[in-house]
Amino acid sequence: MGLEIVEPNACIRGCCSSNSIPLHLPPSSYTLLKPIARGAESVVYEAILDGKKVAVKKPILSTSEDLDKFHKELQLLCKLDHPGIAKLVAAHAKPPNYMYFFEFFEPPNLSEKLHMEEWSPIINQVLAVAVQLAKALQYLHHLGIVHRDVKPSNILLDEDLYPHLADFGLAEYKKDLKGVSIGNWRSSGKPTGGFHKKNMVGTLIYMAPEILKKEIHTEKSDVYSFGISINELLTGVVPYTDLRAEAQAHTVLEMNYTEQQLTAAVVSDGLRPVLAGPESGAPSTLLSLIERCWDANSQNRPSFDDIVAELGTILEQGENMKESDIVFPKSSNSLGDQPVYVASSLQAYQEGINWFSQGENFITRACLPKPGTAIWLASNDPLAYNPILSWGSFATCGRRETMEDTHFLLPQMFHQGDIHAFGIFDGHRGAAAAEFSARAFPGFLQALSSTSSPSGALFEAFIKTDIAFRAELDFSRKSKRVIQKDWHPGCTAAAALIVGNKLFVANAGDCRTILCRAGHPFVLSKDHVASCLEERERVISAGEQVRWQVDNWRVGLAALQVTRSIGDDDLKPAVTAEPEITETILSAEDEYLVMASDGLWDVVSNAEVVSIIKDTVKEPGMCSKRLATEAAERGSKDNITVIVVFLRPVSTAERIY
């Protein structure tokens, strides 16, 4: 590169220096083109430096510790030169712009290649990746450096699908590791920092038991992460899930195990990902090497000197077999098929399908009967008590990264003053089912008014929404718009329908609806969860397994905690969409309804809801927000949606407290 080195070629503090890597760049020498990744601690850009494409990593520096870390990482990077390590080509180590410039590798990285493109490497491709990665780590360990964050998303691929190790954000000299206290480690924001859940879980699954136990890292912790990563390469499966797609795996990981549970299982029960089978083409020698790499006792794990030697032998054996075994290409360097970059399908996957409009379109296309209110109103006595409604809602994704709750408010349905409907859908394994239902369910409910009683219409609307969603998902799968075959999104659902003085509440799953009558909470729905004996027996007799896993009763392979839902087509018919419906005659004693997803009920009891609303300005939107905020403050880990419906006017005196 024709970049000039300006002397003194050192960082502003003087701690980083290099003979070959320029550490100051005139702003005119580079152009940032577009961000390609946002990590927990940095943004990575595609950029041009001196006419060549490079990757610029711009760390987020908010504290002086972050700045120390930048210098430490730079010192380290300046010393590295190995074909298996993403090369630092320049840096800018002066305020205000701190940046690393790396050799550029076209996306996807190894994680994206496996889980978005669903790459199934042949065994020689796996071996080639394993050898080069092992050599890079051998080189680092000989320099006395431990990487501490070996995982597929930190492995970049070149055109020949050769791996280059990146991300030295957690790397340390082995001699300094004893001094790296847990406190230090936490302040680096990773892996214990709670703000970036996805990365945290992502890193957690590659961590050796001794790290999870908060003992000292050694270079053998890298060996463990290497073993987990190579097994992932062979199976194509995200560790501890049965899924190929990373995006859904996080949700499933959460459902199967929380972080603490996974940690406990890895540490105490020796839990490991499912080892690749013979169908992967892996020789038994490779499988045994992987098992030794992830041995619970770090001293039993091989060193990278051993690993490089063993992989060499495995490759040679493969060479000798080549006459009889057509799977092996001639040499380990000529990697079977050419890399194919399917940028467009990758993008389609990331953009996804808009399930709200899918739901809406379904209703438009379905040619449903015209709504008619005769049947509903027939059951209504015009002289009976007539509640006067006001309503509000509040929804927040809370500590989660994604929002999978949806809801609808349909007051004064058909422009009738005395018919109203409200509903909440709490999605799992993605938001698709909840988004679809939020639009399709109200459509079905309205159409059913001309043919069914209010409770019949509610019941049918649950069933029809479920069937429609599953059909739509199936169709999208067949037309290849959904590329993950093993993705089975679902949602729980709660709906309230008020016709005159009658209140109907239909529920499937663990959303809950309560009625405050004369100052006391009355629960109008039952939680359908596997810990409920009646539900468990129903599910088992419908042919699905219910097992005690870690901390709770869970249904099927997907380990679902709820026993009724819309969607979840891998668990149908046992996890039914049939709601249970209650009917209540309203009177002047009835003050308000509260409907909410389990994000509220997990941390706030029915009685507490009543006492919180007592101290809140009597405005339904404010009450909803106050409840959701309270749940978030109490540490609810989930999305939270609350709908509050007042059933009688609040006097001005009463309004404030």
Ligand X SMILES: Nc1ncnc2c1ncn2[C@@H]1O[C@H](COP(=O)(O)OP(=O)(O)OP(=O)(O)O)[C@@H](O)[C@H]1O
161-169, 542-550, 575-583, 584-592 -> range binding ligand X (CB under 6 A)? 161-169
Q: Helix H segments across 117-156?
A: 123-142
In 378-509, beta strands by DSSP E? 390-396, 405-410, 419-428, 490-499, 502-508
Please report which helix (H) or strand (E) contains residue 247, including its range: helix 246-256
Place of tokens 């005139």: 26
The answer to whether the CB of 327 falls within 8 A of the CB of 123 is yes
Give least dist CB 195 to ligand X, A. Answer: 12
- Binding string, residues 97-126; x marks residues near ligand X by CB under 6 A: -----xxxx-x-x-----------------
Nearest-angstrom CA–CA distance, 374 and 380: 10
Give least dist CB 78 to ligand X, A. Answer: 16
Give least dist CB 464 to ligand X, A. Answer: 43
Name which of 40 and 566 has its Cβ closer to Mn ion. Answer: 40
76-84, 152-160, 316-324, 644-652 -> range binding ligand X (CB under 6 A)? 152-160
Q: Among ligand X, Mn ion, none, what binds residue 372 when CB lies within 5 to 8 Å by partner kind?
A: none
Q: Among Mn ion, ligand X, none, what binds residue 117 when CB lies within 5 to 8 Å by partner kind?
A: none
Q: Among Mn ion, ligand X, none, what binds residue 86 when CB lies within 5 to 8 Å by partner kind?
A: ligand X
Which of 24, 57, 147, 538 is the binder for ligand X (CB under 6 A)?
A: 57
What is the sign, positive or negative, of the torsion defined by CA atoms of 631, 633, 636, 640?
positive
In 463-559, beta strands by DSSP E? 490-499, 502-508, 512-517, 520-523, 546-549, 552-555
Nearest-angstrom CA–CA distance, 236 and 274: 11
Cis ω before 22 (30° cut-off from 0): no
Give least dist CB 151 to ligand X, A. Answer: 8
Cα-based distances in Å from 197 to 112, 191, 638: 18, 9, 12
What tokens were used for 478?
Answer: 């067949």
Which of 84, 169, 189, 387 is the binder for Mn ion (CB under 5 A)?
A: 169
163-171, 307-315, 336-344, 543-551 -> range binding ligand X (CB under 6 A)? 163-171
Cis ω before 239 (30° cut-off from 0): no
- Which parts of 130-159 interact with Mn ion (CB under 5 A)? 154
> Taking CB under 5 A as the rule, does residue 225 contact Mn ion?
no
The answer to whether the CB of 72 falls within 8 A of the CB of 52 is no
149-157, 295-303, 489-497, 631-639 -> range binding ligand X (CB under 6 A)? 149-157
Q: Among ligand X, Mn ion, none, what binds residue 42 when CB lies within 5 to 8 Å by partner kind?
A: ligand X
Which of 121, 169, 423, 490 is the binder for ligand X (CB under 6 A)?
A: 169
- 85 Cα distance to chain centroid: 29
Q: Assess whether 337 carries a catalytic annotation.
A: no
Give least dist CB 169 to ligand X, A. Answer: 4
Which of 73, 167, 568, 598 is the binder for ligand X (CB under 6 A)?
A: 167
> Taking CB under 6 A as the rule, does residue 39 contact ligand X?
yes
What tokens were used for 479?
Answer: 């037309």
Q: Residue 240, by phi and psi: left (phi above 0), alpha (psi -120 to 50) or beta?
A: left
Binding residue count for ligand X, defined by CB under 6 A: 23
- Which parts of 68-97 interact with ligand X (CB under 6 A)? 86
Catalytic residue of the set 81, 149, 306, 337: 149
Name which of 230 and 558 has its Cβ closer to Mn ion. Answer: 230
> What amino acid occupies position 585?
I
Neighbours of 336 (CB within 10 A): 14
Nearest to 631, CA basis, from 526, 512, 517: 512
What tokens were used for 263?
Answer: 């940690």
Nearest-angstrom CA–CA distance, 153 and 111: 5
DSSP 8-state secondary structure symbol assigned to residue 608: H
Give least dist CB 188 to ligand X, A. Answer: 10
Instruction: State the residue number with the nearest CB to ligand X.
Output: 39
List residues binding ligand X (CB under 6 A).
36-37, 39-42, 44, 55, 57, 86, 102-105, 107, 109, 153-154, 156, 166-167, 169, 199
List residues binding Mn ion (CB under 5 A).
154, 167, 169
Residues forming the active site: 149
